[in-house]
């Protein structure tokens, strides 16, 4: 397993399309009130940490950068973007409700029940493509960082950091507006007071 610097990985807060159970991929929709509250919670968690010497990076997509602006307010003098932190592309499925896709109702309500859709989307990137993109990004890091990204990209980054295989992506917890700390091959989900 490769030795990576300590990282905090944040997923963006809830968006309008998340609330509608739509697949976003490279498309975008704004944060909801709940999504902004989740980003504020991330800010409170991060304020309790010593982030001296950390770099702050975000996906360039609107929902992630909007989350980064809230979650890193008062903490980051500068937020850099990197396209390798963008969400997995899902080709023909982007913008569609999960209930409209193969697997229909079973995949409608939760992201976990729809993981196969992100891998099998016609014209999409697939998990192997996302793996290589995330691995390239992680290999380029030269110090501790706070990363603001997306659901599938967060899972893939954490999967690589934990030394797991791509087929175990479904075993990793998701969640919007969360903060994961990864160091020395160990993952912790942070909450206030933890």
Q: DSSP label at 178?
A: -
Q: What are the percentages of helix, strand and coil residues in the chain, rounded to 5?
A: 45, 15, 40
CA distances from 66 to 23, 47, 96, 194 (A): 19, 18, 22, 25
Give the separation between CA 164 and CA 173, rounded to whole angstroms.
Answer: 14
CA angle 72, 76, 82 (to 5 degrees): 85
Supply 55's token pair: 């770099």
Catalytic residues: 12, 87
Strand 186-190 vs strand 55-58: parallel, antiparallel, or unpaired?
unpaired
């Amino acid at each position: 397993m490769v030795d990576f610097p300590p990282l905090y990985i944040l997923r963006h807060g809830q968006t309008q399309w998340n609330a509608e159970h739509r697949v976003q991929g490279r498309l975008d929709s704004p944060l909801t009130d709940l999504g902004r509250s989740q980003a504020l919670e991330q800010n409170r968690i991060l304020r309790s940490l010593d982030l001296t010497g950390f770099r702050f990076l975000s996906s360039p997509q609107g929902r992630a950068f909007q989350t980064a602006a809230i979650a890193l307010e008062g903490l980051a003098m500068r937020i850099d973007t990197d396209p390798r932190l963008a969400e997995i592309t899902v080709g023909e499925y982007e913008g569609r409700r999960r209930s409209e896709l193969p697997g229909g109702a079973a995949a409608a309500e939760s992201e976990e029940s729809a993981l196969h859709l992100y891998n099998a989307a016609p014209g999409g990137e697939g998990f192997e493509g996302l793996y290589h993109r995330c691995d390239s990004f992680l290999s380029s890091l030269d110090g501790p960082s706070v990363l603001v990204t997306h659901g599938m990209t967060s899972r893939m980054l954490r999967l690589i950091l934990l030394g797991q295989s791509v087929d175990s992506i479904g075993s990793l917890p998701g969640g919007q507006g969360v903060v994961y700390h990864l160091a020395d091959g160990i993952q912790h989900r942070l909450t206030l007071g933890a």
